Amino acid sequence: MAAGVTGGAAGTWSDRFEQGLHPFIEAFNASIGFDLTLLQEDLDGSIAHARMLAGCGVISAEEGDQLVEGLETVRREAAEGTFQPGLADEDVHFAVERRLIALLGPVGKKLHTGRSRNDQVGTDLRLWLRRRLDGLDTDLVRLQRALWSQADQHRRTLIPGYTHLQRAQPLCLAHHLLAYIEMLQRDRDRLQDVRGRVNISPLGAAALAGTPVPIDRRRTAAQLGFDAIYANSLDAVSDRDFCVEFCAAASLVMAHLSRLAEEVIAWASEEFGFVRLSDRCATGSSLMPQKKNPDVPELVRGKTGRVFGHLQGLLTMIKGLPLAYNKDFQEDKEALFDAFRTTRDCVEAMAILFEEGLVFRPERLHQAVGEDFSNATDVADYLVARGVPFREAYQLVGAVVRRCLEDGCLLRDLSLTAWQDLHPAFEADLYAALEPQAVVAARRSEGGTAFDRVDEQLEIWSQRLHESQTAG
């Protein structure tokens, strides 16, 4: 063997290869450092494949049993920590096969009949993601329940509503939190849609063209819990759109978490003071002893860009690939694994934050909704209810707000005489209509923030989340 090469991969390939890989190239080429994550799925897929080969008469029943037993031995060794493949194994598939051959001898060499690493890794990835999608859904339900619990405690608490980060109209705090529950539900629905397209088996497509071996693809698909098989062998091994689609759905989860995180960060500031952070989910400053920092939402906001980056990376990776399999696909795993872990961790962190990491301050919120002009629209609505055209009422109230700003007072501070000078339709009941509780209670259109509407939605979501928890 020539100097500067290793024999690590020489025994892997056919006799076409006379030398092993250069040591650096061997390390550069290997994926064993990260795709060992797929070990359990690789074993599951291989067991299904071995049983199918035996069932189809490609190998004997005894050989099938030996292969299954050998694969389960590898699983036990992994659990015990004695199965530790190295760089020379290149990837998880070769690592398992080599250990199987060491355990069984020539029988172990029969496992790869009728398949390729191309359909093998595609199967492993789908099994891995399918299993974790189910767990992520459970985590999202937990966050929804944490938000619901906070909302349930604040059915009659008010919070300023904003547009353009300017005070707009007062809201029921429960209504505000329910908005995020709705967003997370759409996230769950999207992930469920992704699961449907993940749950299709490529196993049996072989390298790209299928195999002359008389296999039964539907048999392995059924054993592994897939809903269907890929109809086209070339398509089965040549795309990673399911990874992209997951990262896209995960990016939307993270976008929603980041929006919620941004609000919590603002609410926890002295300027807002809407929430108080608990010691369980906040740290202090090494210099300023009075500080309590919103670490959890800040990290969630920061990690959102990480998941976005994985989405862009995967899109860029696949955009120029000719059919079928290309080594570029090796880059899908770390992106997928990290995108999932990051999303799952952020969902759990936000669930803990709302379970025990913050407390809303109703007294401060009450103060906030009473110190602005967010009831101005209600003055216009008051006039509309008495026959005044909305645009005329709108202009009149705008002039009133300007006058109040000049005089340093609020709408509630104007005397009834002053109101009636502006328009004769104003009566003493205007003041009751301007109270924040009345402003919120009046918005009874379906989906609105009125207390009775919010109560309805809380009951609906209580039932839905109970059903989700029971189903999970």
Distance CA 257, CA 238 (A): 33
Residue 29 · residue 10 · CB < 8 Å: no
Please say if 164 is a catalytic residue. yes
Which stretches of 338-470 are assigned E, i.e. beta strand?
A: 358-360
| Pairing of β 200-201 and β 228-229 | parallel
Percent composition of the chain: helix, strand, coil (DSSP 3-state, to 5) = 65, 5, 30
Residue 42 · residue 96 · CB < 8 Å: yes
Please say if 49 is a catalytic residue. no
Among the listed residues 148, 164, 91, the one whose alpha carbon sits nearest the alpha carbon of residue 121: 91
Tokens 């299928």 — which residue? 210
Please identify which of the residues 164, 286, 415, 445 carries the catalytic annotation. Answer: 164
Report the run of H or E that residue 167 belongs to, with start and end. strand 166-172
Distance CA 69, CA 100 (A): 10
CB atoms within 10 A of CB 135: 12
CB atoms within 10 A of CB 448: 16
Query: SS3 for 293?
Result: strand
Distance CA 171, CA 369 (A): 9
Please identify which of the residues 278, 285, 462, 466 carries the catalytic annotation. Answer: 285
Which residues have a Cβ under 8 Å from the Cβ of 453 and sit 6 or more positions away? 175, 443, 444, 445, 446, 447
Token representation of residue 410: 């609020």
Among the listed residues 267, 272, 270, the one whose alpha carbon sits nearest the alpha carbon of residue 297: 267
Active site residues: 164, 285
